[in-house]
């Protein structure tokens, strides 16, 4: 939105005009990230938060799981040498998507996973470190073909990140292999060295929830 709505009714009108599906794509992991649960309740036709949550869940399923057979989850891992690779690539249905703990900051790894947080490869920006971030970004079309021998933009963040592909198709390059993600796919990025490559002609949007470790 270009400005903060002055009243609840004004906010409701603006959000409805913006469109339910666009709103959902930008607030899929929580209505508070846009304008608060009360406003979202109004958009979905009820002032009851629980009913609004059910409505959002139904819309989310329609977007990411139109056939009702689950959605794709890709999880990265680090091997004993600290090299990134695809740990899991599978379709899941309902329930918990990923879990981390005080003992496993990145969640359960594969065989030989060092279970340690590897340092970020990029220098600090000078801004205070964030414990968590939730943001939207877009990867622009690549200027040339993917150089698999020396991928451009390889980096690692000391975070556990949940990445939802909002539109299009995107290649995630890892130390060992790569994986192509499409609209609705969810990537669990576990402190892995990686690069993004957009082989299409349009920007690919991503919603990212990121937790510093």
- What is the structure's pLDDT at 9? 43
Q: Do 87 and 137 share a domain, yes or no?
A: yes
Q: Do 103 and 52 share a domain, yes or no?
A: no
DSSP collapsed to 3 states, 69-80: CCEEEEEEEECC
Residue 125 lies in a domain: yes
Structural domain of 195:
71-212
Residue 2 lies in a domain: no
- What is the structure's pLDDT at 164? 96
- What is the structure's pLDDT at 99? 94
Q: Per residue in 18-74, pLDDT tens? A: 444 444 444 444 333 333 333 334 444 445 555 655 565 555 556 566 677 788 999
- Distance, CA of 84 to CA of 150 (rounded, Å): 15
Residue 91 lies in a domain: yes
- What is the structure's pLDDT at 195? 97
- What is the structure's pLDDT at 2? 42
Residue 28 lies in a domain: yes
Q: Do 35 and 124 share a domain, yes or no?
A: no
- What is the structure's pLDDT at 138? 96
Q: Do 174 and 145 share a domain, yes or no?
A: yes
Q: Do 13 and 86 share a domain, yes or no?
A: no
Domain of 102: which CATH number? 2.60.120.10
Q: Do 125 and 202 share a domain, yes or no?
A: yes
Q: Per residue in 112-157, pLDDT tens? A: 899 899 999 987 665 566 689 999 999 999 999 999 889 999 999 9
Q: Do 37 and 120 share a domain, yes or no?
A: no
How many domains are contained in the chain?
2
Q: Do 106 and 121 share a domain, yes or no?
A: yes
Pairwise pLDDT comparison (189 vs 125), residue with the higher score: 189
End-to-end CA distance of the chain: 32
- Distance, CA of 129 to CA of 134 (rounded, Å): 14
Q: Which residue has the tokens 């139109």?
A: 66
pLDDT beyond 90 at 101: yes
Q: Do 55 and 149 share a domain, yes or no?
A: no
Q: Do 156 and 115 share a domain, yes or no?
A: yes
Residue 21 lies in a domain: yes
Pairwise pLDDT comparison (35 vs 99), residue with the higher score: 99
- What is the structure's pLDDT at 69? 75
Residue 1 lies in a domain: no
Residue 3 lies in a domain: no
Boundary (domain end) residue, out of 64, 83, 102: 64
Boundary (domain end) residue, out of 64, 80, 105: 64
Q: Do 60 and 75 share a domain, yes or no?
A: no
Q: In what order do the strands lie in the sheet with 71-78?
A: 84-92, 71-78, 186-190, 159-165, 204-212, 132-139
Q: Do 113 and 166 share a domain, yes or no?
A: yes
- What is the structure's pLDDT at 115? 86
- What is the structure's pLDDT at 48? 55
Residue 75 lies in a domain: yes
């Amino acid at each position: 939105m270009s400005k903060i709505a002055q009243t609840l009714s004004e906010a409701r009108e603006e959000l409805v005009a913006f469109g339910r599906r666009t709103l959902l794509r930008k607030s899929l992991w929580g209505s508070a990230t846009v304008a608060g649960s009360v406003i979202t309740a109004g958009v979905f036709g009820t002032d009851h938060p629980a009913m609004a949550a059910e409505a959002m869940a139904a819309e989310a399923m329609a977007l990411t799981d139109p056939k009702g057979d689950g959605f794709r989850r890709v999880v990265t891992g680090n091997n004993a040498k600290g090299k990134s690779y695809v740990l899991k690539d599978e379709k899941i249905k309902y329930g918990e998507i990923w879990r981390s703990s005080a003992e496993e900051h990145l969640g359960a790894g594969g065989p030989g996973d060092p279970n340690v947080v590897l340092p970020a490869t990029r220098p600090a920006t000078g801004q205070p470190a964030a414990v968590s971030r939730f943001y939207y970004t877009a990867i622009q079309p690549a200027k040339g073909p993917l150089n698999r021998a020396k991928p451009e933009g390889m980096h690692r963040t000391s975070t556990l990140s949940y990445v939802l592909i909002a539109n299009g198709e995107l290649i995630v390059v890892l130390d060992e292999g790569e994986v192509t993600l499409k609209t609705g796919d969810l990537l669990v990025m576990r402190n892995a060295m990686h690069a993004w490559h957009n082989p299409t002609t349009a920007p690919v949007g991503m919603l990212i929830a990121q937790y510093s470790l």
